[in-house]
Structure 1
């Protein structure tokens, strides 16, 4: 139990402890802005072009990158046994697609999905898979998703409630808990690995994007990760390469004229090879051309006219993108019962 401490109003004795100095000065908010955010003319004045992030004094953040890259090497695992088994790959794809559907159903965030897939792949790469037990992959998927939700989410459904979207097998809570313990012990309780989102979060914080576009940029990256996460070919790339290719994909959509310049800066920061990025980027183009084709067509109808200025391009892009909450919503989700709680993605 967490004890409730009585809060007392104490004036700071040291100016250093005055947190008011950390507050940013903000422009007043008009009543008209409450309904629809910025007006188009105001937003075009406020939205800034993406600035080369290496121009900023952020060398102090290089230590964070080094830590991520060092931890990434420690988290790499041999996936040969997983990708060389056609039967297992088929079961993996079905299990992960089910995961993504459940994650969308409950409104879990992207990191929950990435962690669940990471746990699944690491576990299945280390244990022997018996082809006479096709239900095992589904059971492991439920257990890994449950663990990831407990790690990342504020509210987690009961184990029986987690098994939505008409799964082929439904397991008792006791059985799932036993597999959870097996997964945890097999992975040696290392449940906080470096993921592509780790690098994406770091890089986005080094961009000089306006605050109102920061979340849109981040959400676009997360949607791409969710759109490609079930493909087994992604296992051949480390998280830093996946993150760089994803960022390049998004930047190329927003500001194609400077995309190569930003890519060079990304490679310098994350120390990744261009050949690997090109290969991963081609895979993203292939996968998003399939899973995101309907979304792209919808965007084209809604965004027939795009301003010619860089600021206008970014503004129009995110304006259209905001109408699509997710690139990975399966058609079957509409038939699912509404969950009792659903956390909105930010």
Structure 2
């Protein structure tokens, strides 16, 4: 079925975590500098109410354990997120867009762990999740064919991606206004006794840290509120070192979180994301490294057991997603999803 180039959704169902006049942060617009814009935060929208909604937007229980134990699945996720980040750089997508895309990917995959995944299935899911997130947050969304930039082994027709989008939304219960770590940033900032310019600086740095940590599966062990508070704490340590402890104390009162979780998340974030002695490779460097060493799921199936199976192309050549045999497999896959 052809759903057209634009996917129309029920805005009431698919609203953002803080809808209407309560919207906390505007990560969209014509901001070419990639700096989020600080907006008014409606005090009626309590951070505690967002915390209460977290559980409805998390991957299913057991997902993190599977990622920790199955290298093939965790590598598949990592490659998917790095490709999303590459697309974000090309089209200057907002930080929230990439966070939503990864959230959709994790939630969907967590509900389908018993499935045996082929390479093209993972790639189709990746493209569909990023497309949905862009339609949720971006004022200008690339055409589906243009969205599929270098880095994919398969290219999908628009109608195939749209069918996968529908499958994703159905399985996620049409709950696309996910609670992510970005949902808390504005509320935290509004309660800090610092200048507006410093709030903007903290907002930019916190957003940067949150985007950099997305490929790291270890952060899935923490709820979004803890991740957000840990990222803000890292930004405070960098930008306001003399006042950091006092300001972190005030944040803990605004957004109470389990202190043991917060300490572990903060240490992990310092180690993997913001430690100046262990700088992150740029996305382009990571992608170059991955070109040199083939992805463990680039030409085979991904199963929960972590085994790789021969590709479905008996000739040993890379199959194009538009071939007749793959179209048939796509139809079978999407019918099962729908």
Aligned to 1:217: 202
Aligned to 2:248: 263
Aligned to 2:147: 162
SS of the equivalent of 1:61 reads coil
Instruction: Assess, with a 3 A threshold, how the Cα gap between structure 1 residues 132 and 120 changes in structure 2: closer, same or farther.
Output: closer
Instruction: Assess, with a 3 A threshold, how the Cα gap between structure 1 residues 134 and 168 changes in structure 2: closer, same or farther.
Output: same
Does structure 1 conserve the Cα–Cα contact (< 8 Å) formed by 2:95 and 2:211? Answer: yes
Does structure 2 conserve the Cα–Cα contact (< 8 Å) formed by 1:227 and 1:291? Answer: no
More helix by share: 1
Instruction: Assess, with a 3 A threshold, how the Cα gap between structure 1 residues 255 and 242 changes in structure 2: closer, same or farther.
Output: same
Aligned to 1:240: 225
**In 2: Cα distance, 1:225 partner to 1:139 partner:** 25
SS of the equivalent of 1:183 reads helix
Aligned to 2:18: none
Aligned to 1:330: 284
Residues 1:75 and 2:29 aligned together: no
Provide structure 2 residue ranges, at least 5 long, that are not aligned to the other structure: 1-40, 289-338
Cα displacement (A) at 1:90: 0.9
Instruction: Assess, with a 3 A threshold, how the Cα gap between structure 1 residues 263 and 236 changes in structure 2: closer, same or farther.
Output: same
**In 2: Cα distance, 1:118 partner to 1:292 partner:** 29
Cα displacement (A) at 1:329: 4.7
Cα displacement (A) at 1:129: 5.2
Does structure 2 conserve the Cα–Cα contact (< 8 Å) formed by 1:101 and 1:329? Answer: yes
**In 1: Cα distance, 2:245 partner to 2:279 partner:** 27
Does structure 2 conserve the Cα–Cα contact (< 8 Å) formed by 1:227 and 1:328? Answer: no
Instruction: Assess, with a 3 A threshold, how the Cα gap between structure 1 residues 106 and 252 changes in structure 2: closer, same or farther.
Output: same
Higher Rg of the two aligned structures: 1
Please report the TM-score for the alignment, with normalisation by the length of structure 1.
Answer: 0.65
Root-mean-square deviation (CA, aligned residues, Å) is 2.5
1:1-16 aligned at under 5 Å gives the runs none
Does structure 1 conserve the Cα–Cα contact (< 8 Å) formed by 2:134 and 2:141? Answer: yes
Residues 1:105 and 2:87 aligned together: no
Aligned to 1:64: 46
Cα displacement (A) at 1:291: 9.2
1:1-346 aligned at under 5 Å gives the runs 61=43, 64-81=46-63, 82-83=66-67, 84-128=69-113, 130-131=115-116, 133-289=118-274, 293=278, 329-331=283-285
**In 2: Cα distance, 1:289 partner to 1:89 partner:** 22
SS of the equivalent of 1:165 reads coil
Instruction: Assess, with a 3 A threshold, how the Cα gap between structure 1 residues 72 and 292 changes in structure 2: closer, same or farther.
Output: farther
**In 1: Cα distance, 2:171 partner to 2:277 partner:** 36
SS of the equivalent of 1:257 reads coil
Q: 1:235-272, CA deviations, whole angstroms, 9 ceiling, x for partnerless residues?
A: 11000000110011010112223322222222221110
SS of the equivalent of 1:330 reads helix
Does structure 2 conserve the Cα–Cα contact (< 8 Å) formed by 1:103 and 1:109? Answer: yes
Does structure 1 conserve the Cα–Cα contact (< 8 Å) formed by 2:82 and 2:283? Answer: no
Provide structure 1 residue ranges, at least 5 long, that are not aligned to the other structure: 1-57, 296-326, 335-346
Does structure 2 conserve the Cα–Cα contact (< 8 Å) formed by 1:112 and 1:149? Answer: yes
Which deviates more from structure 2 when the two are superposed, residues 234-243 or residues 169-178? 169-178
Please report the TM-score for the alignment, with normalisation by the length of structure 2.
Answer: 0.67
Does structure 2 conserve the Cα–Cα contact (< 8 Å) formed by 1:199 and 1:240? Answer: yes
